[in-house]
Amino acid sequence: MESIFHERQEGSLCAQHCLNNLLQGEYFSPVELSSIAQQLDEEERMRMAEGGVSSEEYRTFLQQPSVNMDDSGFFSIQVISNALKVWGLELILFNSPEYQRLGIDPINEKSFICNYKEHWFTVRKLGKQWFNLNSLLMGPELISDTYLALFLAQLQQEGYSIFVVKGDLPDCEADQLLQMIRVQQMQRPKLIGEETAQARDQRLSRSDVDQAIEVNHPFDGTGMLDEDEENFQRALALSRQEIDMEDEEADLRRAIQLSMQGSRRSQFPDSLPQNAPQSPHASQTDSLSSEELRRRRQAYFEKQQQQLQQQDQTPDLRGKPAQSSSAPEADPGGDMSEEDMLQAAMNMSLESVRNHLNTEEEK
């Protein structure tokens, strides 16, 4: 249907589009239609002046705006009718009872001009098919012969005024081409602005959805970054705590081992050769786990507490001062008992840890 001339709506120039779509060419411009409207206004003014330029009716007529055109581009039926007279065409009101009594089948006509309020459009037969050439449509709309009468009746029910165009229309390429072929239209053309409105509604709908999602789950990454940062800091703190605990346990075991080795060398400087194997007690101490050391340390502290309580309750008959729990004397018999060695090692390890803490506090 590319050969069909179809002007789309611009402003309020529907009368111009209606005429050009009817004649299938750019035959009229707003200037030419305005000239026709001004000529009609002048003719009406002259008729009103016949009754006297000083009459009340004449003065009222001059004060009223033109009924044939306005600033928006609207033109009256008189303008359209006079424009078609140039081509020998005449308009007859299809809605009139006189025409309806003629019983003419609409399919036998050639074209119609339809008007509702201030909108004009053309329905014309091109070749052997009817087309709705409404300038508000994106393109010509094919109307079947069986649907034509129903279409006009629907327009009448909606309040349209329908005019039958009588006379020979000028020849056009579309009419000649469609005399030989028939066209098929799979989809009705949309109204101007309909696609834009649908696209706008879809954008608004997507915008509303996106805004709702953004309110509940912001896409700026802040929440995600904050959560990742928090998890990272928590994992880092746990790892540091584990490292500190491991370092503390390692330092404690190392201090116990060194203290026990120092005690043995001070008690037995010459009794053992340098390459003598370590005693089973030393091997057992070296292989003690941190959990076992903690249990032994706790048991030792509890035992020392019980001994101190017993000493406070029982007076020393020999008058000797009670031995300090922090510095137990070595057994004069020579060999240190396992309990004494563990006590010495614990004292040295606790002293090492205490010195380390003091150093950290000074820093």
The structure tokens listed for 77 are 């039926």
Question: Which residue among the candidates 6, 14, 17, 21 is catalytic per the annotation?
Answer: 14
Cα–Cα distance measured from residue 348 to residue 279, given in angstroms and rounded to the nearest whole number: 21
Q: Where are the alpha helices (DSSP H) in 268-334?
A: 280-286, 290-313
Hey, which residues does 126 pair with through a beta bridge? Answer: 129
Q: Residue 81: is it exposed, middle or buried by C-beta count within 10 angstroms (0-12/13-18/19+)?
A: middle
Angle, helices 338-362/290-313, rounded to nearest 10 degrees = 100
Query: How far, in Å, CA of 260 to CA of 282, rounded?
Result: 8
Q: Is 134 among the catalytic positions?
A: yes
258 C-beta neighbours (distance < 10 Å), count: 14
C-alpha distances out from residue 117 to 32, 122, 141, 161, Å: 22, 15, 22, 9
**Active-site position among 21, 115, 119, 132:** 119
Residue (of 278, 197, 45, 16) closest to 121 by Cα position: 16
Cα separation, 329 vs 348, in Å, equals 14
DSSP codes, 32-85: HHHHHHHHHHHHHHHHHHTT-TTSHHHHHHHHSPPSSB-TTS-B-HHHHHHHHH
Locus of tokens 């790892």: 239
Catalytic residue (choose from 21, 68, 115, 134): 134
Q: How would you classify the pairing of strands 129-132 and 119-126?
A: antiparallel
267 close to 336: Cβ distance less than 8 angstroms? yes
Q: What is the set of active-site residues?
A: 14, 119, 134
